């Protein structure tokens, strides 16, 4: 079960269809909504426009999604899940400090690349910040990344298990927060400037933090 499921309870689609025809319509709605969001931003897109682009009636659209927040929640959940799988793969085999630093650098790059490559990703993320129900999705996503990072750190430095609440968890939260903040700032910049900012994040913030905290290999 996705870690965002509980957070999504208030904004889930009415029901994800299982029949092929309805499933295709469901996916068409999400695709058309994504294109509209990418082109115009979330706030400028109305449900009736999503219905028109999907070539269905507004009544049919509401059979799938009770409101626009439900569409955003579905898109955000997919984006977050993909990111979680990517980050879990990066950290899954980490057992040394050097590998941990490399994985954290990879997290910075892959997170940024996801925003660049996934249509409408930045607009979808922005929308999660405007509604408390949707904010919980982002919070749960960050919490999942913290858990992934904690597990990797413990493989490198098992002794930190004794100070998990006092030191390990705050350190993981800080690193995830720094990376998320840097990437979300970078995505608003020209790519060359964005890459330079992310390199600074990796080498002047992330790497020194790990080297100051964990023993050398």
| 24 has pLDDT over 50 | yes
Q: Give the residue extent of every domain in the chain.
A: 5-69, 75-213
Q: What is the Cβ-side half-sphere exposure of residue 131, based on CA atoms within 13 angstroms?
A: 21
Tokens matching residue 67 = 């409101």
First to last CA, the chain: 36
- Separation between Cα atoms, residue 171 and residue 175, nearest integer Å: 6
Question: CA torsion angle for 134, 78, 74, 113 (degrees, to 10)?
Answer: 60
Q: Any idea which residue has 């405007």 for tokens? A: 130
Q: Per-residue DSSP letters for 37-101?
A: HHHH-STT--HHHHHHHHTS-HHHHHHH-SSHHHHHHHHHHHHHHHHHHHHHHHHTT--SHHHHH
Gyration radius of the chain over CA positions: 19
- Mean pLDDT is lowest, of 5-14, 155-164, 196-205, for 5-14
pLDDT tens-digit readout, 189-215: 999 999 999 999 999 999 999 999 998
- Separation between Cα atoms, residue 116 and residue 92, nearest integer Å: 24
> Model's pTM, two decimal places?
0.86
Instruction: Decide whether 5-69 matches 75-213 in CATH topology.
Output: yes
- Mean pLDDT is lowest, of 6-20, 33-47, 168-182, for 6-20
| 1 has pLDDT over 50 | no
Find the mean pLDDT for residues 81-101: 95
Query: Residue 126 has what pLDDT?
Result: 86
- Separation between Cα atoms, residue 96 and residue 216, nearest integer Å: 8
pLDDT tens-digit readout, 28-58: 999 999 999 989 888 899 999 999 999 999 9
Task: Give the confidence band of 27 by pLDDT, cuts at 50, 70, 90.
Answer: very high
Q: Any idea which residue has 């049919």 for tokens? A: 60
Please state which of the four CATH numbers 1.20.1300, 1.10.357, 3.90.380, 1.10.287 is assigned to the domain occupying 75-213: 1.10.357
- Separation between Cα atoms, residue 133 and residue 109, nearest integer Å: 28
Give, in order, the Cα–Cα distances in Å from 204 to each of 44, 118, 178, 181.
Answer: 39, 28, 12, 15
Fold category of 5-69 in CATH = Tetracycline Repressor; domain 2 (1.10.357)
Comparing C-alpha atoms, which of 73, 58, 63 is closest to residue 11? 73
- Separation between Cα atoms, residue 41 and residue 50, nearest integer Å: 13
Q: What is the Cβ-side half-sphere exposure of residue 157, based on CA atoms within 13 angstroms?
A: 20
pLDDT tens-digit readout, 100-155: 999 999 999 999 999 998 888 888 988 888 788 788 888 999 999 999 999 999 99
């Amino acid at each position: 079960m996705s870690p965002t499921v509980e957070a999504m309870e208030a904004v889930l689609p009415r029901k994800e269809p299982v029949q092929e025809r309805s499933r295709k319509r469901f996916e068409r709605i999400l695709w058309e909504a994504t294109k509209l969001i990418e082109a115009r931003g979330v706030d400028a897109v109305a449900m009736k426009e999503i219905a028109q682009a999907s070539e269905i009636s507004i009544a049919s659209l509401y059979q799938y999604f009770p409101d626009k927040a439900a569409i955003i929640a579905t898109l955000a959940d997919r984006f977050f899940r993909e990111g979680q799988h990517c980050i879990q793969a990066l950290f899954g085999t980490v057992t040394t400090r050097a590998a941990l630093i490399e994985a954290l650098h990879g997290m910075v790059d892959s997170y940024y690349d996801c925003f660049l490559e996934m249509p409408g990703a930045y607009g979808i993320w922005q929308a999660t910040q405007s509604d408390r129900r949707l904010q919980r999705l982002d919070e749960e996503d960050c919490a999942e990344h913290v858990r992934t990072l904690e597990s990797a750190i413990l493989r490198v430095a098992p002794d930190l298990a004794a100070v998990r609440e006092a030191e390990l968890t705050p350190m993981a939260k800080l690193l995830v927060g720094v990376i998320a903040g840097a990437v979300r700032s970078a995505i608003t910049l020209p790519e060359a400037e964005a890459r330079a900012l992310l390199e600074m994040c990796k080498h002047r913030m992330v790497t020194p933090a790990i080297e100051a905290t964990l023993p050398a290999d």
